[in-house]
Chains A and B, each alone.
Chain A
Amino acid sequence: AQSVTQLGSHVSVSEGALVLLRCNYSSSVPPYLFWYVQYPNQGLQLLLKYTTGATLVKGINGFEAEFKKSETSFHLTKPSAHMSDAAEYFCASNNAGGTSYGKLTFGQGTILTVHP
């Protein structure tokens, strides 16, 4: 069974600082990986996704993530945090080629706080 672990339930950064949100996955086959963002009192929005090909994936709002198979990781980064980045971020996976099409497995979520 696949699982997703996000290290750190809360991350706090200063405006302009680097954002690093950690995600590790456990899967018997290479998964498809996603980062979603949830702003307060809203649904989830897709930030970026990795399926195949280039391991460095760029998403919306200046975020990017790198798939590292050797480390089973898919960490989310942004060079310079903005106040508007404050939200909860979820890493999710879906096993490619399995019978679990469409059935995302989510991590526990990381709440990002940005200080002025």
Chain B
Amino acid sequence: NAGVTQTPKFQVLKTGQSMTLQCAQDMNHEYMSWYRQDPGMGLRLIHYSVGAGITDQGEVPNGYNVSRSTTEDFPLRLLSAAPSQTSVYFCASSYAPRLLDNEQFFGPGTRLTVL
């Protein structure tokens, strides 16, 4: 049981480049989400999904796209990277019927730098 995995661990992009951050979980969790972590700002929700084929925007969705074709995978796409997207990105998952107590399981993070 690997839990929540994220790839890559580190990435450097140039402004305007695109890339996809990968996230997978093997716990059969229905709920998955992406957060970005910036110093002094805690974690902010980018996008989330309550099941395959269903996604919605979080607090800071601009510049990011997501899709959920399977229960296991929830990739985050940066269409045209900007320096403001330099951050640490965390993927998290949760078993939907327990959302009321919402113990989310976090991946190890992807540290992204946009030059």
Contact = CB atoms under 8 A, between A and B. Distances in A.
Interface of A: 4, 6, 9, 32, 34, 36, 41-46, 49, 51, 90, 92, 94, 96, 101-104, 106-109
B100 A46 contact: no
B53 interface: no
Contacts of A34: 102-103
A108 B42 contact: yes
A2 B42 CA distance: 14
B44 interface: yes
Contact of B104 (A4, A96, A104): A104
Interface in B78-109: 90, 92, 94, 96, 99-104, 106-109
16 contacts: A32-B102, A34-B102, A43-B4, A43-B109, A45-B106, A49-B101, A94-B102, A101-B99, A102-B94, A102-B99, A104-B102, A106-B35, A106-B44, A108-B40, A108-B41, A109-B40
Interface of B: 4, 31, 33, 35, 40-45, 48, 50, 58, 90, 92, 94, 96, 99-104, 106-109
B40 A102 contact: no
Contacts of A96: 100
B99 A43 contact: no
Contacts of A94: 102
Contact of B101 (A9, A32, A108): A32
B102 A102 contact: yes
A86 B17 CA distance: 37
Contacts of A106: 35, 42-44
Contacts of B50: 102
A96 B35 CA distance: 21
A107 B42 contact: yes
A102 B43 contact: no
Given A102-B31, A102-B33, A103-B48, A44 B102 contact: no
Contacts of A104: 43, 45, 102, 104
A51 B40 contact: no
Given A43-B109, A90-B42, A106-B43, A101 B100 contact: yes
